[in-house]
Amino acid sequence: MATNVPRNPFARMALVASDTSRAQEAYEALLGQQDWAPLEEADVAVVLGGDGFMLQTLHAMLDAGRIIPAYGMNLGTVGFLMNRYDRRAVIANRLAKANRKSITPLRMTAVLQNGEKQTLCAINEVSLLRETRQTAKIEVTVGSRVRIKELTGDGVLVATPAGSTAYNLSANGPILPLDSEMLALTPISPFRPRRWRGAILPDRMPIKLRVLDPDKRPVAAVADQKELRDIAEVTVEKAQDTALELLFDPGQSLEERIVAEQFVVD
């Protein structure tokens, strides 16, 4: 009998799971569905866990220099980047029907107080955070102009549209449509300037954050889950040469989730 299920476009699939008990149980349940390939040889990754583990998996691809599409199934808490988990579903069939969404990460170039320079990518956000009880003092430059000579508070973050519903939203930043080509620049518990609550910026404009009085007020920089301490300054830009691809079940697009999040009132 003919079926309406399209052909799975992926020949070699990898199955990866976080170390939580729920994810490991799902991993064992799905192992027998087919022959799985190692992640480094696969052309798609099936990711079991939560948003944090999805970010961890995507960063592993970035670090290895080999990026393949990722299809997540939520066995965490929020699951914003994931699909619904169903142990009865045939993974190959779900992949065959999945819609693709490309997202572009940020590239953070950080200069440490000792002069060392490091570059990290961020899929959700780059955050500058005070290291001690002293508030951070940060100079904010957007494009080629200093926009805020001294921002005083717990820190500041730069969020992508995909990350705008994460830490950025908790810091009272705006939710950005996925195709907006904008970034959110959001202060974290700002003290001065009192009335500045952040900005929405074109993603083509570089953002430079320079730490003021670093000896008394040291600042750390965090790109998603990776932290650097004793920062002198960071420059944040869209990584134009890098694209990640997420797969979503029909009717479960990331765009719809970002729109729906703006109507959550509980």
Q: What is the pLDDT of residues 101-138, one digit of tens each?
A: 999 999 999 999 999 999 999 999 999 999 999 999 99
Arithmetic mean of pLDDT over the chain: 92
CATH placement of domain 13-104+243-261: 3.40.50.10330
pLDDT of residue 4: 64
pLDDT of residue 3: 54
> With 90 as the cut, is the pLDDT of residue 77 above it?
no
Residues paired with 156 in a beta bridge: 128, 187
pLDDT of residue 183: 97
> With 70 as the cut, is the pLDDT of residue 230 above it?
yes
The answer to whether residues 44 and 10 touch, using CB atoms and an 8 Å cutoff, is yes
Q: Measure the N-to-C terminal CA separation of the chain; round to a whole number of Å.
A: 47
Mean pLDDT of 11-38: 94
Percent of the chain with pLDDT over 90: 80
pLDDT, greater one: 182 or 2 = 182
What token pair was written down for 17? Answer: 């799971």
Angle at 197 between CA 185 and CA 54, to 5 degrees: 40
The model's confidence at residue 2, banded by pLDDT at 50, 70 and 90, is: very low
Do 13-104+243-261 and 106-238 come out as alike in CATH topology?
no
Number of neighbours of residue 222 by Cβ within 10 angstroms: 20
Specify whether 51 is catalytic.
yes
Q: Does domain 106-238 have CATH number 3.20.20.190?
A: no
> With 90 as the cut, is the pLDDT of residue 251 above it?
no
What residue segments make up the domains of the chain, in order of their start?
13-104+243-261, 106-238
> With 50 as the cut, is the pLDDT of residue 1 above it?
no
The answer to whether residues 237 and 226 touch, using CB atoms and an 8 Å cutoff, is no
Q: Active-site residue among 19, 35, 43, 51? A: 51
Residue 251, Cβ density class (10 Å: 0-12 exposed, 13-18 middle, ≥19 buried): exposed
Give CA–CA dist 3/5, Å, rounded. Answer: 6
Mean pLDDT of 63-83: 92
Angle at 12 between CA 73 and CA 75, to 5 degrees: 10
The model's confidence at residue 6, banded by pLDDT at 50, 70 and 90, is: confident
pLDDT of residue 129: 98
> With 70 as the cut, is the pLDDT of residue 197 above it?
yes
The model's confidence at residue 185, banded by pLDDT at 50, 70 and 90, is: very high
Report strand pairing: 145-159 vs 136-142.
Answer: antiparallel
pLDDT of residue 5: 60
